């Protein structure tokens, strides 16, 4: 039986050529695309990241605040998850935060706003009728006459206070409507940030284990040699900063506010809130109750002023020697200048949430710097052993 062999001659015209043959360098260069697949993916990811930042930048502040609180409360969260499921633990922690921290702060702010009405009414009255210099200010040695002269220039005559306010702010003291609108908008914005923070905090508490595992995988990929230590130092730094500064500042504001009320200081809630804010800065709380004690002594209440000063000194000694070490447990102590810059920069950038975010970021920077210095110090003997002097 005769077998038909395939044709061995040249391919007929019009047939598709064989594309399996290797291409020359010139052909490969000619067929190279303008944008490779890898470059296109990178530009697409960059565009998605930029769009995400543009659309969701308003959520950065509450998410940062929720992250800091979650870091600080993480040991308690782990303890609760061991005894119950993550849903119940997250619900209990958020409700505890709302009942014992958020609500008292909101009540203190509302009471302070109520007290500020007295100051506003006093300013309106002074602007309408003028006010003489308080006798205790005029009787101060050395500086009393100068203070009396300045007081008469600023507040002694009707309308002087309004002119002073208009000189510095460019607005009339009676323009309360615009101020009320601005205050209402700020309060509503703060309320929305608080709601978003609580929602993000619930998610962190509920799904924290999965989030931590993903962050660990990425961290070990980026910093394979340093991630294990940094992942331990960063939570300890955040927890120490939040506990050592925020909670103790709130406690000092409450305790000293009660002392102001007992000593007869006008607007004790307002001055207690100011003392709590100043307590975030090293030396702020002693400065606050010392000035108010001097005011009481100069205004004719020396016993109340002395008692307030002793109260504040004893409270500060107890906090620094017993409560702070027990709560913090060896914190990463910050110098004065980074703490001050963190507070001012945080408030300027993020508002009231910056009181928490700014010092924490500065604490992380100081912690990373100290870790870097420790690695350099520990590496010097090994480098000296490898490269002995001739």
Classify 84 as helix, strand or coil: coil
Helix (H) or strand (E) holding 48: helix 37-56
Q: Which residues contact 278 (CB under 8 A, 6 or more apart)?
A: 284, 285, 287, 288
What per-residue confidence (pLDDT) applies to 352? 65
Rounded to 5°, the CA angle 62-66-72 comes to 150
Nearest Cα neighbor of 77 from 61, 63, 91 is 91
Q: CA of 104: how far to CAs of 110, 197, 238, in Å?
A: 10, 17, 23
The residue behind tokens 């929602």 is 199
At 378, list the tokens. 């520990």
Q: Judge contact between 158 and 130, C-beta under 8 A.
A: yes
What per-residue confidence (pLDDT) applies to 330? 46
Q: What is the chain's alpha carbon radius of gyration, rounded to the nearest angstrom?
A: 33
Residue 262: half-sphere exposure toward Cβ, Cα within 13 Å: 13
What per-residue confidence (pLDDT) applies to 139? 76
**What letters, b where the CB count within 10 A reaches 16 and e where it falls short, cover 195-208?**
ebbbebbbebbbeb
Sign of CA dihedral 120, 121, 123, 128: positive
Per-residue pLDDT of the chain (390 residues; tens, 9 = 90+): 445 555 554 555 555 555 555 555 555 555 666 677 777 788 888 888 888 888 887 788 788 888 888 888 888 888 888 888 888 989 999 998 888 777 777 777 777 777 777 777 777 777 777 778 877 777 777 777 888 888 877 777 777 766 666 655 555 555 555 666 666 677 777 788 888 888 999 999 999 889 888 888 888 888 777 787 777 777 777 777 777 777 788 888 889 989 999 998 887 888 888 888 888 777 788 888 999 998 888 777 889 889 999 999 998 888 877 776 666 554 456 677 777 787 788 777 776 667 777 777 887 788 778 778 877 887 777 667 776 655
The dihedral over CA atoms of 363, 367, 373, 377, expressed in degrees to the nearest 10, equals 140
* DSSP string for 204-231: HHHSHHHHHHHHHHHHHHH-TTTHHHHH
The residue behind tokens 């006010």 is 131
What backbone torsions phi and psi does residue 292 show, to the nearest 5 degrees? -70, -35
What per-residue confidence (pLDDT) applies to 331? 46
Task: Report the C-alpha gap between 25 and 389 in whole angstroms.
Answer: 53
Q: Which residues contact 204 (CB under 8 A, 6 or more apart)?
A: 66, 67, 70, 211
What backbone torsions phi and psi does residue 154 show, to the nearest 5 degrees? -90, -40
Q: Is 374 exposed, middle or buried (0-12, 13-18, 19+ CB in 10 A)?
A: exposed
């Amino acid at each position: 039986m005769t077998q038909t062999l395939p044709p061995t001659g040249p391919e007929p015209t019009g047939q598709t050529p064989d594309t399996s043959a290797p291409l020359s360098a010139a052909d490969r260069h000619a067929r190279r695309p303008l944008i490779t697949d890898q470059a296109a993916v990178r530009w697409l990811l960059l565009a998605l990241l930029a769009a995400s930042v543009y659309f969701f930048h308003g959520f950065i502040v509450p998410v940062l605040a929720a992250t800091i609180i979650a870091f600080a409360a993480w040991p308690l969260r782990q303890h609760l998850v061991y005894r119950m499921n993550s849903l119940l633990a997250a619900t209990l922690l958020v409700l505890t935060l709302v009942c014992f921290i958020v609500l008292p702060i909101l009540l203190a702010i509302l009471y302070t706003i109520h007290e500020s009405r007295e100051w506003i009414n006093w300013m309106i009255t002074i602007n309408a009728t003028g006010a003489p210099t308080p006798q205790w200010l005029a009787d101060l040695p050395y500086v009393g006459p100068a203070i009396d002269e300045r007081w008469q220039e600023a507040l002694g005559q009707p309308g002087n206070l309004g002119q002073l306010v208009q000189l510095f702010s460019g607005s009339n003291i009676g323009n309360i409507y615009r101020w009320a609108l601005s205050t209402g908008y700020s309060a509503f914005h703060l309320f929305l940030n608080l709601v978003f923070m609580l929602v993000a905090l619930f998610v962190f508490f509920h799904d924290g284990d999965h989030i931590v595992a993903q962050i660990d995988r990425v961290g070990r990929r980026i910093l394979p040699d340093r991630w294990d230590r940094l992942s331990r130092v960063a939570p300890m730094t955040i927890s120490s900063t939040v506990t050592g500064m925020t909670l103790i500042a709130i406690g000092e504001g409450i305790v000293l506010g009660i002392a102001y009320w007992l000593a007869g200081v006008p607007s004790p809630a307002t001055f207690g809130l100011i003392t709590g804010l100043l307590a975030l800065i090293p030396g702020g709380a002693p400065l606050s109750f010392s000035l108010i004690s001097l005011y009481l002594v100069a205004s004719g209440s020396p016993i109340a002023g002395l008692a307030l000063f002793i109260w504040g000194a004893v409270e500060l000694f107890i906090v620094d020697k017993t409560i702070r070490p027990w709560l913090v447990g060896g914190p990463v102590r910050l110098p004065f200048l980074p703490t001050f810059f963190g507070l001012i920069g945080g408030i300027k950038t993020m508002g009231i949430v910056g009181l928490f975010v700014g010092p924490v970021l500065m604490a992380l920077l100081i912690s990373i710097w100290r870790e870097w210095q420790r690695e350099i110090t520990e590496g010097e003997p090994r480098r000296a052993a490898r490269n002995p002097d001739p």
